[in-house]
Chain A
C-alpha cells in the first residue's frame, strides 16, 4: 500500500485553469474522499492521479516516486469507473482477470485471486456471465472485483455509486466501508454526494471551483467548516445563513440584524480580517430549537413566521421567515407548528463568516 502526494498540481485546458495549485497528501491506508459539486475538478484530479489526464504543472508522487510521466499501466493503481466500464465481450471472470492476464501472471495465481475477490463480493455465481446479463449493482461489484484482484497500491473510485438506486447505494456504501476495513488499502474516492463522504471517509477534501476548500476528518469538516462554501455543502439539510453585523457593547459581542440580536459567547479568531458590518451567521437546522433547553447554551429568543411545513415521518422540516432571511428548523414529528414561532439557536454550535471572503472568523 502507498501514500500519494499532490504538489502544486495544475490543470489547464486552453485558457481555462480548472485546477489551481492543488496540494494534498494522502496517507497510507487512508480512505480519502474528494467531494464537491459538478465541475469542481475532483474527477480531473483523480484522473490525473490515474494517468488518464496530463498534468499541466506540479507533481504527483506515489510512495515518494514522481509519476507525472508514467503511463497508467505502470502506476500500479486500480480504478472503478462511474459507468462501471466492464468489457462487454468478456465474461465476469475474464473481466476480473484481464489485468492479471495482461501482466502474464501464472494461471493458478489468477484463478485464486479471482475466486478470493468473487467470494468477498459474493459474485461467484456470475463468473461465467456477460456484463449485460447482470443488474446495475452486480456490475458495480464486478467492477470493484476487477480492481481488487490487481492488489494495487492505491484504489481509485470515480463516483462509483452514482448510477445505483438509493437502496442499493446504501448497501454498497456499507460494503465499501467493510472492504476498506478488510483490505486496509489506500483509497481515493470521488463523489458529489456529501452523505457518502461523511459516512465513508477517513478524511474529506472539499473542492470547489478548482480549489481544495478544506481537508479534515468528517467531523472536523462538519463542525468547524473553514468557509461558507464548505458550511453550505456539507450537511443535509443545509446550514441556515443570516446576514448581519457584529457590535460590541461593553465587553460583550453581539450579532445583530433586523430580526435578532444575539450575544456571541465565543471569541473571534485572532488576526482575522473582516468587515464587522457584513458578516454571516451560520446555524444548522438541528441546532435551531423551538423551546428552551436547559442543557444547551441557547441564545436570545428569535421570532419567526412559518412558511411551509414538511413532514418526513420521524421529523418535520419547518421553513421559516425571519426578517430578510429564510430559516429551516428540523423539529420532532409531533411538534405542533403555529403561524408564528419563537426560536433559539444553540450558540455553542453557530458559525460566523466574513461575508466578502466567506472565511470563518470564529
Chain B
C-alpha cells in the first residue's frame, strides 16, 4: 500500500507534464495555420486584427478568387507540381537502387561512400547554392524544369539512400536467396521481393523528397528568373511588394498550396505500415 501511495502522485505529475508539453507543441504548430486561414478569409487586406475569431466578421472567399484570377497562381502551382513530382520519383528510383547496392554488395568504397553521402547532409544548404547554380548553368539548364529537378534530386538523394539502405538491412537476405534459387536474377529478387516489402521506406523517402522540393525557395530563386517558370514559393513572394503586401491573397495562396501536400500525405499514409515482413522468417 505504502508503495502505491508513494508512487501514484509522482505518476500523475509525469502524465501531466507530458500532456502539457504535447498540448503546447500542438498549439505552437496549429496557431500559425489557423491565423493564416483566418487572414485569408478577412475582407480587405488586413494582416493585423484584434479579433480572435477564427472565422472573422464578414468572412469572404474573395482573396481566393483574386489570387487565382489576378495572378499566375495556377501556373506557379503547375510548375511546382511538375518539378516536385519529377524530383520525388527520380529521387526514389535512384535511391532505391543505390540503397540496395550499399546494403547488399561488398565493394571497395562502400563505407566511404556512405560516409561521404552523410557528410553532404552536414553542409548548410546556403553553401551549396553557388556550386548548384554553377553546375546547372554549365549544363545550360537555367530556367528549365530539368535544371530544377537535377538541383533538387542531388540534394535530397543522400538522405533517401540512407533511409532505404537502413530499411533494406532489415529485410532478411534469405528471402532474396530463396527467390534466386526459385529462378530470379539478383535484380529480379530486388524488384519482386525486396521492393514490395520496402514500401514504408519508399513512401517516407517519397514524402521527404516531395515536401523538401515543394517548399524550397532559395535554389528556385537562383535558378529560375523567368516568371513563367516560377514555382509557387517564388510566385507568392511576388505578392509582397515594397510598399504594399497583398496579405489576403498571400494567405489564400498559402492555404491552397497545402492542399496537394496534404493529399500526398493522406495517400502515402496507407503505405506507412510497419510489419510488412512479419511471418516471412522465424519468430
Question: Could you list which residues of chain A lie within 8 angstroms of chain B, going by C-beta atoms?
Answer: 50-52, 71-73, 75, 77-79, 81-89, 98-99, 102-103, 130-134, 136, 139, 146, 150, 156, 163
Given known A85-B177, A87-B175, A89-B197, contact A99–B281 (CB-CB < 8 A): no
Residue of A nearest to B176 (CB): A85
B277 CB within 8 Å of chain A: yes
- Since A81-B177, A98-B179 are in contact, a sample of 15 more A-B pairs with Cβ atoms closer than 8 Å, ordered by chain A residue number, is A50-B181, A51-B181, A72-B181, A73-B183, A79-B178, A81-B174, A81-B178, A84-B280, A85-B174, A86-B178, A86-B280, A87-B193, A88-B276, A103-B183, A150-B182
Residues of A close to B184: CB separation below 8 A: 73, 102
Q: Which residues of B contact A156 (CB under 8 A)?
A: 181
Nearest Cβ in chain A — how far from B173, in angstroms?
9
Within the complex, what minimum Cβ distance (angstroms) separates A308 from chain B? 35
Bound CA–CA A81/B185 (angstroms): 18
Assess the B182–A83 pair: CB atoms within 8 A: no
Give the complex CA separation of A86 and B183 in angstroms.
15
Task: Assess whether B179 is in contact with A87, with CB atoms less than 8 Å apart.
Answer: yes
Q: Is B69 an interface residue (CB 8 A)?
A: no
Q: Given A83-B174, A85-B174, A87-B175, are A131 and B280 neighbors across the interface (CB < 8 Å)?
A: yes
Cβ-based interface call for B180 (8 A): yes
Closest to B279 in A: A132
* Number of A-B contacts defined by CB within 8 Å: 87
Q: Is B52 an interface residue (CB 8 A)?
A: no
**Is B260 part of the contact surface with A, judged by Cβ < 8 Å?**
no
CB <8 Å contact, A87 and B280: yes
Q: Least Cβ distance of A223 to chain B in Å?
A: 36
Contact with A along B183-197 (1 / 0, CB 8 A): 111001000010011
Residues of B within 8 A of A134 (CB): 279
- 15 pairs across A/B with beta carbons < 8 Å? A52-B177, A73-B180, A79-B181, A81-B177, A84-B281, A85-B177, A86-B280, A87-B175, A102-B184, A102-B188, A130-B279, A132-B278, A132-B279, A136-B282, A150-B182
Contacts of A130 in B (CB 8 A): 279
A162 smallest CB distance to B (angstroms): 9
Tell which of B174, B181, B193, B279 touches A139, judged by Cβ atoms closer than 8 Å: B279
Cα-based distance from A136 to B280 in the complex (angstroms): 10
B113 interface hit (Cβ, 8 Å): no
Which of A82, A98, A156 gathers the greatest number of chain B CB atoms within 10 Å?
Answer: A98
- Quick check: A88 and B183 within 8 Å, CB to CB? no
The verdict on A133 contacting B279 (CB below 8 Å), with A71-B185, A87-B175, A89-B196 known, is: yes
* CA–CA, A114 and B208, complex, Å: 42
Q: Give min CB distance, A283 to chain B, whole Å.
A: 39
Q: How far is the CA of A132 from the CA of B281 in the complex (A)?
A: 9
- In the complex, B44 has a CB within 8 A of chain A: no
- Cβ-defined contact, A72 with B282, below 8 A: no
- Least CB distance from A123 to B in Å reads 15
Contact of A78 among B175, B181, B276 (CB under 8 A): B181
CA distance A85 to B174 in the complex (A): 6
Indicate which residue in B179, B278, B280, B282 contacts A163 across the interface (CB closer than 8 Å). Answer: B282
Residues from chain A with a CB closer than 8 A to the CB of B178 are: 79, 81, 85-87, 146
Q: Cβ of A88 and Cβ of B181 under 8 Å apart? A: no
Query: A85–B281 contact, CB under 8 A?
Result: yes
Q: Chain B residue with minimal CB distance to A47? A: B177
Contacts of A102 in B (CB 8 A): 182-184, 188
Q: Which residues of A contact B197 (CB under 8 A)?
A: 88-89
A77-B278 Cα distance, complex, nearest whole Å: 26
A84 touches B282 (CB 8 A): yes
| Contact A83-B183, Cβ < 8 Å, known A88-B277, A102-B188 | no
Docked CA distance A72–B278 (Å): 26
Contact of A99 with B182 at beta-carbon distance under 8 Å, contacts A85-B174, A133-B279 already known: yes
Considering only CB atoms, which chain B residue lies closest to A50 in the complex? Answer: B181
- Once bound together, how far apart are the Cα atoms of A190 and B55, in whole Å? 73
Provide the residues of chain B in CB contact with A85, threshold 8 Å. Answer: 172, 174-175, 177-178, 280-281
Residue from the list A51, A86, A146 in contact with B279, Cβ < 8 A: A86
How many angstroms from the CA of A100 to the CA of B282 in the assembled complex?
Answer: 24
Which residues on the A side are within 8 Å of B281 (C-beta)? 83-86
Within 8 A of A (CB), among B248-283: 276-282
A326 to B174, CA, bound (A): 43
| Cα distance, A228 to B188, chains bound together (Å) | 47
With a 10 A CB-CB cut-off, give which of A88, A89, A139 has the most chain B CB atoms: A88
Of the candidates B172, B185, B280, the one having the most CB atoms from chain A within 10 angstroms of its own CB is B280
Q: Are the C-beta atoms of B180 and A71 separated by less than 8 Å? A: yes
Contacts of A79 in B (CB 8 A): 177-178, 181
Measured CA separation A359–B88 after assembly (Å) = 67
- What is the bound-complex CA distance between A78 and B180, given in angstroms? 10
Specify the chain B residue showing the minimal Cβ separation from A152. B181
Minimum CB–CB distance for A169 against chain B, Å: 13
A contact residues around B280 at 8 Å (CB): 84-88, 131-132
